[in-house]
Amino acid sequence: MKITAEQFQKLDPRDDHWIKGMRRGIEREALRVTADGQLAQTPHPAALGKPVTHSAITTDYSESLLEFITPLCDTPEDAERFLEDVQRETLKAMGDELLWANSMPCWLPENETDIPLAQYGDSDIGRLKTIYREGLAWRYGRRMQTIAGVHYNWSLPEAAWQDITGIENGLEARNRGYFLTLRGFRRHYWLLMWLFGASPALDRSFFGDTDRSGATRLTSGASSLRMSDLGYHNKAQQTLGICFNALDSYADSLSRAVMQPWDDYEQLGVQDGAHWRQLNSKLLQIENEYYSVVRPKQLQQPGERPVKALRDRGVNWLEVRCMDVDPWARAGISTSTMRFLDCFLTACALAQNPRISEAECTQLEENQQRIATAGRTHGQRIWVDGEEVKLADAAESILKRCRAVAEQLDAHEGGSAHVAAVEEAYEHLSMPKGLPSARAERKIQKVGYLEWVLTRSEKLKADLLKGETSPERLAQLHAMRDASIEAEAALSRAPSADAFDAFVRDYVNQPTGLSEG
């Protein structure tokens, strides 16, 4: 029988075993910067291991943009502890450098080519990853790729999806349940941006301006410039119309995007002689180039395309990608925020969430821009079910559902931590001055963007280095480092340029499962 939100609230904590199977994992990005707040030009610290194969410490777009990845965690405290430990040991390997404590970047060099691409060694897959990043540089510019975020990976056990959907087949229940949740998420993620956005300003070097007088660009009332047109937004991608209503339509729309030629990218050319400029001249080089606020995910086999993994084995978790770095949290995200996300996502899973029409999709994207650039503007309104309503009214409706979930989760765990996380969100409705973006704006108005974030970065480093990493964690991190070195050495390496070219083309030309019709 399909479980309803009302039935969920009445479940006996002793019988509701599937809630205890909820898992979360974090991917936290952070720029390496010099002691005076400039982008680090040094290579990835060798003492950390090999980023191409490391399971916890890698790089994203730039050699200077670190990414810390937790394993699946039973509790928010486990995730926070892992992130603090791995960042502490990374800082020790970085010498005088800092981890930048905001989503928008530090002072960037005038010449974009001085923003280094991530390097992954001379293996086939390592070289391919760097070529992909060079393609991103040509398509979107290197500055945009220095923006950092926090990705929240969330999953429920198969039994939960069977209860939620009323479908006995595990794979079908998972796919149906996750896309049910995705539809709810896309309708309501504006609230996450409003509650947790912390990037109302940036440095003018982001635009190539090297004038150091009055260098801060502050958008008063903004929640998250990272999620605005200044951040991960692109005119070509606006044509995609990716459908999140079901797995088949989602996979088909992504498959079309990686097969669709794009004039600008064709004019750029794939290769300049022997040098690769991009993986191909399609609208998307690979599926991960699509800058979505959320993604359905499945583990990939070596060399496997994401869309093929989804088609073959279904959805295994959701990756929430709209979260800013928290400048006040040593881990980049707090346990309270994680608990709220667990309540929010569970509430989305339990709601009806009908399919999203093209007209509604346009309104939801408009909600994103309103919140990103003017979320704290007095009287702000957003689209809900085809009508513009007051932000506070829409937020209260969502929070009411989140609180019902929080009460049930606390009944399972004991205590009141989930309810407290939701209550804190309620307080922001009447006191928006306490929002992270508002707190950041007040600080930036006093001292400037770079000065404030640099101070926060120094404070976070000092706080992390005051702590101690347990012998057990050190042994775990050392084992990860050693395993990354061994795994990188075992990666295939093409014997010739022609063989490598064939490797790249074989990778990008993998069948996506899209029917020829």
- What distance lies between CA 303 and its chain's CA centroid? 22
pLDDT (tens digit per residue) in 299-348: 988 778 899 999 999 999 999 999 999 999 999 999 999 999 999 999 99
Beta partners for residue 373, in sequence order = none
Least confident of 26-30, 160-164, 227-231, 357-361: 227-231
Q: Which domains does the chain have, with CATH numbers?
A: 5-235+291-508 (3.30.590.20)
Residue 3 pLDDT: 79
Tell me what the pLDDT averaged over the chain comes to.
93
Residue type, position 323, single letter: M
Average pLDDT value for residue range 232-260: 80
pLDDT (tens digit per residue) in 359-384: 999 999 999 999 999 999 999 999 99
Rounded to a whole number of angstroms, the CA Rg of the chain reads 22
pLDDT (tens digit per residue) in 191-214: 999 999 999 999 999 998 876 655
What 271-278 contacts at long range (C-beta under 8 Å, 24+ apart), as own/partner pairs, is 274/497, 276/131, 276/134, 276/504, 277/131, 277/134, 277/135, 277/138, 278/131, 278/132, 278/134, 278/135, 278/138, 278/139
- What distance lies between CA 366 and its chain's CA centroid? 20
**Band of pLDDT at residue 515, cut at 50, 70 and 90:** low
**Band of pLDDT at residue 516, cut at 50, 70 and 90:** very low
Separation CA 37–CA 454 (nearest Å): 6
Residue 236 pLDDT: 60
Tokens of 97: 């450098």
Could you tell me if 77 and 329 are in contact, meaning their C-beta atoms sit under 8 angstroms apart? Answer: no
Separation CA 514–CA 517 (nearest Å): 8
Check pLDDT > 80 for residue 15: no
**Band of pLDDT at residue 388, cut at 50, 70 and 90:** very high
Buried b (16+ CB within 10 A) or exposed e, 24-34: bbbbbbbbbbb
Average pLDDT value for residue range 433-441: 98
Residue 4 pLDDT: 75
- What distance lies between CA 203 and its chain's CA centroid? 22
**More confidently predicted of 231 and 462:** 462
pLDDT (tens digit per residue) in 94-132: 999 999 999 999 999 999 999 999 999 999 999 999 999
Residue 212 pLDDT: 60
Percentage of the chain exceeding pLDDT 90 = 84
Tokens of 307: 């869309």
Residue type, position 469, single letter: T
Q: Is the dihedral of CA 42, 43, 48, 51 positive or negative?
A: positive
DSSP structure class, residue 44 = P
Separation CA 15–CA 147 (nearest Å): 44
